Chain A
Amino acid sequence: MKVRVLVRLKPGILDVQGAAVKRALVGLGFTELTDLRVGKVIEVELDAATHERARERVGEMCRQLLANPILEDYTLEMVDDLAPRGAVR
């Protein structure tokens, strides 16, 4: 089972990295850009009997290590596993 974890800085926490990337894009002419924040994607593969169990375990991983609750929020999504391994998605 594969779970994709999205970790991002909480709203209200200044994202200096996002601000720098935004400035660079505006410099490239993307003047319609209004906001940009940088986060992290972590893909976790694990053995779990059900989606619920997988979410529960990965949620625990986030609480213990993958995210720092002082600075970051996280969301989990199940990765659709219908495509064969190695297929380009």
Chain B
Amino acid sequence: MRFGVVVFPGTWSDCDFHYVISEVLHQPVRYVWHRDRNLADLDCVILPGGFSYGDYLRAGAVAGKSPVVEALQDFIAKGGHVLGSCNGFQILCEARLLPGALMRNECLQYRCQPTHLVVENVETAFTRGLRLGQVLTMPISHGEGKYHADPEPLRALKEKNQIVFRYAEADGRVTRAANPNGSLENIAGIVNPAGNVLGLMPHPERAAEAAMGGTDGLLLFQSLLGSLVEDGSFLKR
């Protein structure tokens, strides 16, 4: 399986993702510059966290119109997988590849802390190895992670089972107190209807080694690798 890690001016989690994919998961990976439109050799494109284009105008707004993100439309239509974390999630929303928008945390603070996430959809390539209701621990690190969607898109998200992660207590209960940023209904991560584009505010790449305090982030990658082995696309490479 070949991964591409997109680098915008201002991206900061690109090296972490590259390290986890190459050194922890031992998979081939290359950096993809934001002006690059050629994604044909890749199975999964990562949009990492950071402050693409300085987050000018709105977080992810300028990156959402960049050549590499335009090329993602075609990549996704052909069944390629996309994982956007933190700023990557903001970019996917700004590019309308995922519904809704991310806005200033309700507490107005930049929040950098571990969070518990309850898994609500195990039918995506990224979560197939997980159990429904399983609680993962991953850190967040953002100032603009409050998920917002109008009532109609929210209803569609629920109908199509697109809500993948919600902020929760350690035992999996979804409570107001467990919501670090004021996200609508504690939403922390969603997928597109086809299930091949995942956006989440937490950082799976920062929970990928025991020395980092946890390895729950690896479960997303392992699910993805497992899915591709199972459907045969892994072997075609």
Contact = CB atoms under 8 A, between A and B. Distances in A.
A66 interface: yes
A46 to B, nearest CB: 17
B92 to A, nearest CB: 13
Contact of A68 (B61, B104, B182): B61
Query: Which of the four size classes fits the interface of chain B?
Result: 10 to 19
B149 interface: yes
Contacts, number: 31
B97 to A, nearest CB: 14
Contacts of A13: 103, 148
B108 A70 contact: no
Contact of A70 (B57, B65, B100, B106): B100
Contacts of B149: 70
Given A65-B57, A65-B61, A70 B150 contact: yes
Given A70-B150, A71-B148, A64 B65 contact: yes
Interface residues of A, number: 11
A14 to B, nearest CB: 7
A65 B95 CA distance: 10
A75 interface: no
A66 B65 CA distance: 11
B64 to A, nearest CB: 8
A77 B103 CA distance: 26
A70 B61 contact: no
Given A68-B94, A70-B150, A71-B148, A16 B61 contact: no
Contacts of A20: 108
A17 to B, nearest CB: 6
Given A16-B182, A65-B61, A70-B148, 15 more contacts: A13-B148, A14-B182, A16-B104, A17-B104, A17-B108, A64-B65, A65-B65, A66-B57, A68-B58, A68-B61, A68-B94, A70-B100, A70-B150, A71-B101, A71-B103
Interface of B: 57-58, 61-62, 65, 94, 100-101, 103-108, 148-150, 182
Interface of A: 13-14, 16-17, 20, 64-66, 68, 70-71
